[in-house]
Amino acid sequence: MELAQFFQENPKAALAFSGGVDSAYLLYAAGQLGADVQAYYVKSAFQPRFELEDAKRLSRQLSVRLRILETDVLADSIIVDNLGDRCYYCKKKIFAAIAQAAAEDGYRVLLDGTNASDEEGDRPGMRALKELEVRSPLRECGLTKEDVRRLSKEAGLFTWNKPAYACLATRIPAGEPITREKLQATEAAEDYLFSLGFTDFRVRRMQDTARLQVPSGQLEKVLLKRKEILTELKRYYGAVLLDLEGRE
């Protein structure tokens, strides 16, 4: 199946729009193919501010309406406890919010940006999407991450080379309770590293310690900026470690 056929069969749908590469291209393609697709962004403590700003910027570029929803993920103890299936419950909460808003707006089909490169396996989040009958057009049409980036570049979308970005909660190890303070510390630390020009990295939490994972090509830069990074990150963490394996 190709996207054109998918949107012929599903000409009206609601899209969970994150501002990332995949959902951005899907929103663009739907518009080019004449489909009526409404974009919904769910704002929560797990999403950094820049993701919302990117979502707004992309919606302006495409001249489409973006509906922003808010949900309090920290109000659910089963999510805050951060056990192995946290993502399952979080996805269900987020998509339930989208489904409700979409139904109010007259949209019955729910879409997300999962692509053909995303391994399904036993991922809790993917299980939630199945249960909620969320359709993934990119995956169904065999479009890989590489395809989506290429097509996005051809379309002139600024998201074409945007690094993959998992939510802030993934920086906190499973079994360690999630708090607003920990999420804010993660976002502040990562914002600072972004400001120094680092890309595609993670600041993972190990109790009161920050573990920096940067691409191997950026390890030397961390050492050159060591003092500045320590000064800033020790505002939020007791210690700062560098993963020498590098993030590939």
Per-residue pLDDT tens over the stretch 66-78:
999 999 999 999 9
User: Rounded distance, CA 211 to CA 214, Å?
Assistant: 10
What class is the 3-161 domain? alpha beta
Q: Supply the pLDDT for residue 18.
A: 92
pLDDT tens digits, one per residue of 65-123: 999 999 999 999 999 999 989 999 999 999 999 999 999 999 999 999 999 987 665 57
Give 179-242's CATH code, choosing from 3.40.50, 3.90.1720, 3.30.70, 3.60.70: 3.30.70
Domain map of the chain by residue range? 3-161, 179-242
Long-range pairs, 49-56, Cβ under 8 A, ≥24? 49/187, 50/191, 50/194, 51/18, 51/19, 51/20, 51/165, 52/19, 53/19, 54/19, 54/20, 54/159, 54/162, 55/17, 55/18, 55/19, 56/19
Report pLDDT for 242: 96
**pLDDT at 119 (0 to 100):** 67
pLDDT score at 158? 96
Contacts of 236 (CB under 8 A, 6+ apart): 185, 188, 189, 210
Summarised one tens digit per residue, pLDDT across range 178-206 is: 999 999 999 999 999 999 999 999 999 99
DSSP H or E stretch at residue 99: helix 86-105
Give the tokens for residue 172.
């906190």
Can you tell me the distance from the alpha carbon of 181 to that of 202, in angstroms, rounded to the nearest whole number?
Answer: 17
Beta-strand pair 202-206/209-213: antiparallel
Give first-to-last CA distance, the chain, whole Å.
Answer: 32
What rounded mean pLDDT belongs to the chain? 94
Q: Could you tell me the two tokens for 14?
A: 């609601």
Tokens 């000409």 belong to 11
Separation between Cα atoms, residue 145 and residue 138, nearest integer Å: 9
What's the pLDDT at 184? 97
Strands annotated E in the chain: 12-16, 36-43, 66-70, 110-111, 202-206, 209-213, 239-242
